[in-house]
A and B are shown apart, each in its own frame.
Chain A
Amino acid sequence: MPAISDTSASARSSVDPAEIARFSAIAAEWWNPHGKFAPLHRLNPARIRYIRDRICAAFGRDPEAERPLEGLRLLDVGCGGGLVAEPLCRLGATVTAIDADPQTVGVAATHGREMGLAIEYVATSAEALAAEIAAGKRPAFDVVLALEIVEHVSDVDFFTGTLASLLGPGTLLVMSTLNRTPKSWLFAIVGAEWVLRWLPRGTHEWKKFLKPSELARSLETAGLTPTETVGLVMELTGSFRIEPRDLDVNYMMLARKP
């Protein structure tokens, strides 16, 4: 952990207010697969499959079972509309999902209720939840997901430190984000925002993207052990597949908490 300044950890936040305002404006769009979040809908099958399989491998579950994640306590940080929380709940996990934006959490919670899914949605920050765990008000999690979120936070090391404190011993952290390469600038900024307009312009700031080595170092500093990094590659059809060696644009990283 980096040295903490004079502000206390619980009062400090990794949330950037300008980013929150942007997402709030488009919260209702979350569940429209052809809407502004179409890229996340397209990412979903590949990344849910990867997450399911890796959680199953880590906890000795059968991925082909009807509810393979039954009983595992899972936290989705930066849950957005619940695109990841809902499938993992259907697969059996006991899901807590948080987002800093109350409107987005409202959208997600409403949708989850309509789907008959018991997901605990909370409009809070990872830091506040970590403080609850530290105070013994709730147990630590078996799995923490932080997907497409670290590229939006203002202090990466502080954020990964918080993620580490949400996990119990012998548990799993799953992250996904965008690499900082010329190709990712071309695909994620020029392609997705300027040309194809899949994302509103200004969704991403390329300079905030992390190279895998930088993220791994930050996780190690937080006391976690990175175990695997894989790429997510877009196919010509617009869907994605896991590609272990191509980390140039989107990638996922797993880390164990010893």
Chain B
Amino acid sequence: MELAIFYLVAAVAVLSALVAVAHRNPVVNVLSLIVTFFCVAAVFAMQGADFLAGAQVLIYAGAILVLFLFVVMLLGAPVVSGEENPRPVQKTLGAFLAAAVGIGAFFLFSSLREAETKLSEAGNTTRALGRLLVGPHLFAFELVSVVLLAALVGALVLVKRKH
């Protein structure tokens, strides 16, 4: 039963990821990536990472992709003409690298047929994650706030119009 659910979620994730990178219209790309992110949140939830599942929907699907959609709509959903036939070098190199990663991952990881263990506090990771963030990982936590501040200021400066 769990295996069936996993295969369903994985199939939807891979299909919508393919549409997200392959379709011409940027709005369709963003919307299918939202579907992919929901599937990834489902994968997180299946492994007992409940806080991350909620955070994935809240941050990725609910904030980052809204930003993407805003920019796409502001630019008028631009479609780059002539994109369907890239140069031969680019086509072969890109397809080869992507296929190498995919097939290589498949063969490398399918040999790892280990049993899966759920998290011991399956389904209540929030408290433990909070303790870890303000305990051993306090420095990284504070540093990430500086990174976000830098990104905020950087984005504002980059789009400032010279009046």
Do the two shown chains form a genuine complex with each other?
A: no
Q: Which residues of A contact B (CB under 8 A)?
A: none
Q: Which residues of B contact A (CB under 8 A)?
A: none
